[in-house]
Amino acid sequence: MNSLDAILEVAIGLVFVWLILSGATMEAQNVFSRIFQKRAKFLKGAILDMFGGEEEYLDAFYEHPAIEKLNRKGFFNREKRPDYIPNSVFAEVAVEVLFNLGVDEKNKKADSASLGAIIDQVEAINKKNSKLAYSLRYLMPQFDGDEIVSTAKDFEQKAGEIRKNAEKWFDSTMTSASFWYKEKAQLTAFFIGFLIALAINVDTITIAEQLWRDPTMRQTLVAQAASMEVDGEPIPVGDVEAYYQEINLPVGWTSELLATTSCPSLSIESNSVIFAMDGGCYQISNMPAFNDGWGWLIKILGLTMSAFAAMQGAPFWFDMIDKILRISGKSNGQDEEDSTSSALTSSTASLPTTSESQAVG
C-alpha cells in the first residue's frame, strides 16, 4: 500500500470517528435545548426586539389565545412557550396587539382595531418608542395620519395589507435571527462536543497516530464507513464509548491495578489520578502526568480538535466521508443525492428556513 492510500484511509477513519461524535453531540444538544427551552427563549427574545423592547406588547402577544394554543407540555408537565409560530398567526396577533393594546374592550372589533384607533395608537407609539415606530412604518408604508381615514374606502383591504406586511416583517426578522441562532448553537455544540470528548477521551491526535501505525484498524474503519447506512440513527451518547471500543479505537480512559490496596476514593498521587474500586487501587494510565506540560498541551489540543469536528455537524461529516470514499475507490455505491439526504440532523441545530417555519428559540 502506498502512502496516498494510507493517508486516505486515515482520513476516512478520522471522519468516521468525528461523524459518530457529531451525532452524539447532536443528541445531547437536542436534550439540552428541550430542557432549557433554548429555541423558545430565542424566539421570544427576537419578538421582544421586534416590539422595540416593550414588555407590555410581548406579554399581550403571548397571552393572546392564538399564541397560547401553540404552547406545549414539557418536562414535569410544565407549559412551554412555542418554538414555532407560523407567519400568518404572528401577523394576525401582532397587528391586533399593536393597534388594540390599551383600547377598551367595548371599542375593539372582533378581528382588528378601527382606523381611528390605529391612528391614535400609531401616534402614541411614535412618541413613546422610536424603534417600534420605525417598524410600524414598515407595516404601513402609505400611512399619513388622518388621511388614511378618507382614502381607505375598504377598511378590510387596508387591514389585509397591514397583515401581509407584518408577515414579511416577521419573515425578514427570522431570517436574520436564524443566523445568530446558528452561531450560538455552534458554540454550544463545541462545548458539548468537548465535554463528551473529555469524558470518553476522544483524542483526535492519539487516534490519528494509532490509525497511521495500524493498517488493520484503518481497514476496519474503512469497511465500517463504506457499509454505513444513509438513514442510520445517531448513536446515543451513553453508547458512544462502547461503540468506539468495539471497533478497537483508542478511546476511553484506561486504568491499571496498583500493588497497594489502600487509597482514597479519588486522589492525585505522584502526579497521577488514583481511585479506589472493587477493593483495589487503580491509576489512570493513559492520562498525562500532571507535571507533563507538553503531554497535557497535546492532549488538550487533541480533545479540542474533536470538539471542533463535533461542532460541524453529522451531515457535514457524512457528506465528507462519502466524498473521500469515492476518491479512494471504496465508495459504498450509494448515489451522492442519497448521501446528502442523510437523516442525521445537524448538531448546530440551525433554524428552519423562513419559508418552512419561523421557529427560533
| CA separation, residue 301 to residues 201, 297, 298, 317, 328 (Å) | 12, 6, 5, 20, 28
Number of domains in the chain: 1
Question: In residues, how long is the chain?
Answer: 361
What is residue 52's DSSP assignment?
T
Report the alpha-carbon distance of residue 169 to residue 164 in Å, rounded: 9
Q: Are 243 and 273 in contact (CB under 8 A)?
A: no
CB-based contacts of 63, cutoff 8 Å, min separation 6 = none
106 by Cβ neighbours in 10 Å (0-12 / 13-18 / 19+) ranks as exposed
* Domain contains 102: yes
- Local confidence pLDDT in tens for the 361 residues of the chain: 578 888 999 999 999 999 999 999 999 998 888 888 888 899 999 999 998 898 999 999 999 999 999 988 766 667 788 888 998 899 889 888 887 764 444 444 434 455 666 677 777 888 888 888 888 877 777 665 544 444 444 556 677 778 888 888 899 888 888 888 888 899 999 999 999 999 999 999 999 999 999 999 998 898 888 887 655 667 778 888 888 888 888 899 999 999 887 888 899 988 999 999 888 899 999 999 999 999 999 999 999 999 999 999 999 999 999 899 888 776 654 444 444 444 333 333 333 333 333 344 3
3-class SS of residue 160: helix
Q: Are 42 and 181 in contact (CB under 8 A)?
A: yes
Q: Are 197 and 307 in contact (CB under 8 A)?
A: yes
Report the alpha-carbon distance of residue 113 to residue 92 in Å, rounded: 12
Instruction: Using alpha carbons, select from 76, 29, 33 the residue that is nearest to residue 310.
Output: 29
Phi, then psi, of 153 in degrees rounded to 5: -75, -30
Q: What residue numbers bound the domain in which 150 lies?
A: 38-181
HSE on the CB side for 61, CA within 13 Å? 25
pLDDT for position 336 = 44
Report the alpha-carbon distance of residue 236 to residue 20 in Å, rounded: 9
* Domain contains 358: no
3-class SS of residue 267: strand
pLDDT for position 143 = 60
**pTM value surpassing 0.85:** no
* Domain contains 107: yes
Phi, then psi, of 181 in degrees rounded to 5: -65, -40
* Domain contains 217: no
3-class SS of residue 146: coil
pLDDT for position 77 = 66
* Domain contains 6: no
pLDDT for position 152 = 45
Amino acid present at 57 = Y
Classify strands 280-284 and 272-277 as parallel, antiparallel or unpaired. antiparallel
* Domain contains 235: no
* Domain contains 10: no
pLDDT for position 230 = 55
Q: Are 317 and 19 in contact (CB under 8 A)?
A: yes
Report the alpha-carbon distance of residue 278 to residue 100 in Å, rounded: 70
Residue with cell 494510565: 285
Cell numbers describing residue 353: 428556513
| CA separation, residue 200 to residues 91, 203, 271, 286, 357 (Å) | 48, 9, 21, 12, 37
Cell numbers describing residue 176: 436574520
pLDDT for position 261 = 77
Report the alpha-carbon distance of residue 295 to residue 307 in Å, rounded: 18
* Domain contains 23: no
Amino acid present at 170 = F
